[in-house]
């Protein structure tokens, strides 16, 4: 997977690649990691979205959206050439498949999340319909964001399946399934059980898990509160539109006051209309928060994986100890702990020496296996801890940087909203003064 020393990565593409509305170019610029070791090899973008119709797995007609992924080699661009991009179409479910593969293959990495499957935190003006063009557009941006994050990750960017995803339209799904990743996936039950029963998890991971809960809770609270605020703010602005109408009607019966009133009414209408753009822009802020809401889950997944590996190690160790004990008991005849074998021996008499020998032999084999298992598990656990810790640190830095920028951008949006409001009211005031 990884070529020696060289790690492929991607650069942030320039805005000219976007065929859709811009407005969040700042979003893209923050997504890419730059560093001396990362080489930029490929330019990636999700350029378009289209509706398709087809038969699904149960042979029913369905409509879905596909997204166009375009890639271009960076070296060509650096040389000043402008080659046509390679492109292929993918649907959301294929992105999901890719991500699931990454989750299983790299359990120590905080894997970037996909944009939400269904529209949530919707306030009344926003559509919850997956086919709604605004939703599709935001999803297109989210998918591009996901690819950029993955392709700029020091570990994930080297994955072959990722490369296939970006370059081979057909047959990709088969290749993914062939990796057999689905078999490696941990069952939920196993993971849950580990969470409850693990005895000595790494404290740092427990703290990180606790943090992931906090992050999730706060971002979701914030998103909910923001949606309610947006709803109310919309109402306030729109009611002002009524002034427009009544001023217009009133101006009809006035002589000197008429003109001033009429034009003031127009400004009130403009004021009422201005909220649409303002809130549209704010959705981008919401999307940034959503990304980290989902990131929290990815972080928690890494912590859970640790719990699982640690638990398995503990189990293996426990198992080894018990086997050794059994061996000892069998060999020395001293029963230290209660066991059914011991009881039955007492009740029904001990077994024959050949049987005992056989059992001892078996136990020794099991002990050998157990020791191997413990060794393997220890290595697995330690490796996971090491790699995961590195990636969690990387994640933390990225999160701090991204959210900080998101908050600053939010402040900028608020300033812009205030300025617009002042402008509108000043215009209206001028008209009032002319009354």
Partner 1 sequence: MSVGAPRALASSGQKPITEILHPLSAAEEPLSATVGGDKQEVGLTNGTPVETSSPASTSSLFNRLQLDDDLEADVRDPYADSSETRDLFVTVDDPKKHVSTMETYITYRVSTKTSRVEFDLPEYCVRRRYQDFDWLRIKLEDSQPTHLIPPLPEKFVMKGVVDRFSEEFVETRMKALDKFLKRVADHPVLSFNPHLNAFLTAKDLNKRQGLALLSKVGESVKHVAGGYKLRARPAEFCAMGEYLDTFNQKLGTIDRIAQRILKEQSEYLTELREYGSVYSSWVGSEDELLRPLEGVAGCVTTSCGALEDLGENMSQDFLPVLREYVLYIESMKNVLRKRDQSQAEYEGRLEAAILRKQEDRTPVEVEKCQDKMECFNADLKADWERWQSNKRQDFKQLLTGMADRNINSYEKSQAAWESLITLLQDKQTEDKTSETN
Residue numbers at the binding site for partner 1 (CB under 8 A): 211, 214-215, 218, 221-222, 225-226, 228-229, 231-233, 235-236, 239-240, 242-243, 246, 249-250, 253, 256-257, 260, 264, 400, 403-404, 407-408, 410-412, 414-415, 418-419, 421-422, 425-426, 428-429, 432-433, 435
CB of 238 to partner 1, least distance (A): 9
Our CB check for partner 1 shows the closer of 222 and 335 to be 222
Beginning with the edge strand found earlier in the chain, give each strand of the sheet holding 38-55 in spatial order: 7-11, 38-55, 61-73, 86-91
- The Cα-based distances of 55 to 110, 174, 298, 400 in angstroms read 35, 19, 33, 44
Our CB check for partner 1 shows the closer of 106 and 205 to be 205
CB of 240 to partner 1, least distance (A): 7
CB of 290 to partner 1, least distance (A): 15
Our CB check for partner 1 shows the closer of 361 and 419 to be 419
The beta strand positions in 84-157, using DSSP E, are 86-91
CB of 399 to partner 1, least distance (A): 8
Our CB check for partner 1 shows the closer of 191 and 222 to be 222
Q: Burial of 360 by CB count in 10 Å (0-12 exposed, 13-18 middle, 19+ buried)?
A: middle
Our CB check for partner 1 shows the closer of 63 and 221 to be 221
Place of tokens 């399934």: 177
The long-range contacts involving 329-335, CB below 8 angstroms and separated by at least 24 positions, are 330/356, 330/359, 330/360, 330/363, 331/360
CB of 351 to partner 1, least distance (A): 60
Our CB check for partner 1 shows the closer of 71 and 212 to be 212
The alpha carbon of 288 is separated from its chain's Cα centroid by a whole number of angstroms, namely 11
Beta bridge partners of 7: 38
CB of 426 to partner 1, least distance (A): 6
Q: Which helix (H) or strand (E) holds 116?
A: none
* Angle made by CA atoms 101, 295, 125, in degrees to the nearest 5: 110
Q: Which helix (H) or strand (E) holds 93?
A: helix 92-105
């Amino acid at each position: 997977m990884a070529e020696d020393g060289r790690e492929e990565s991607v650069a942030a593409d320039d805005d000219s690649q976007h065929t859709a509305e811009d407005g969040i170019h700042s979003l893209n610029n923050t997504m890419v990691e730059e560093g001396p070791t990362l080489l930029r090899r490929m330019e990636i973008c999700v350029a378009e979205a289209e509706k398709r119709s087809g038969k699904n797995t149960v042979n029913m007609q369905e409509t879905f959206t596909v997204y166009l992924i375009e890639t271009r080699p960076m070296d060509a661009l650096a040389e000043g050439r402008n080659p046509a991009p390679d492109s292929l179409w993918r649907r959301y479910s294929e992105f999901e498949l890719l991500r699931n593969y990454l989750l299983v293959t790299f359990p120590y990495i905080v894997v970037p999340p996909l944009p939400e499957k269904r529209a949530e935190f919707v306030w009344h003006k926003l559509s919850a319909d997956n086919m709604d063009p605004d939703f599709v557009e935001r999803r297109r941006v989210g998918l591009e964001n996901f690819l950029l994050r993955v392709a700029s990750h020091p570990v994930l960017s080297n994955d072959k399946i990722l490369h296939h995803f970006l370059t081979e339209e057909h047959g990709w799904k088969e290749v993914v399934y062939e990796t057999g990743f689905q078999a490696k996936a941990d069952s939920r039950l196993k993971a849950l059980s580990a969470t409850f029963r693990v005895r000595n998890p790494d404290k740092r991971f427990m703290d990180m898990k606790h943090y992931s809960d906090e992050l999730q809770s706060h971002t979701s609270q914030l998103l909910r509160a923001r949606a309610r605020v947006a709803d109310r703010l919309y109402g306030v602005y729109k009611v002002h539109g009524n002034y427009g109408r009544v001023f217009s009607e009133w101006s009809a019966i006035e002589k000197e006051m008429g003109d001033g009133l009429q034009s003031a009414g127009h400004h009130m209408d403009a004021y009422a209309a201005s909220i649409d753009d303002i809130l549209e822009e704010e959705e981008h802020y919401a999307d940034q928060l959503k990304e980290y809401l989902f990131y929290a889950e990815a972080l928690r997944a890494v912590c859970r994986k640790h719990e699982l590996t640690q638990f398995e190690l503990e189990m293996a160790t426990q198992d080894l100890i018990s086997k050794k004990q059994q061996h000892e008991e069998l060999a020395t005849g001293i029963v230290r702990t209660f066991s059914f074998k011991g009881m039955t021996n007492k009740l029904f008499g001990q077994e024959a020496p050949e049987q005992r020998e056989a059992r001892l032999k078996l136990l020794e084999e099991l002990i050998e296996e157990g020791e191997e298992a413990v060794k393997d598990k220890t290595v697995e656990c330690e490796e996971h801890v090491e790699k995961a810790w590195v990636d969690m640190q990387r994640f933390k830095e990225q999160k701090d940087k991204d959210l900080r920028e998101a908050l600053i951008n939010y402040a900028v949006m608020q300033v812009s909203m205030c300025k617009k409001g002042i402008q509108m009211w000043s215009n209206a005031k001028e008209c009032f003064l002319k009354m």
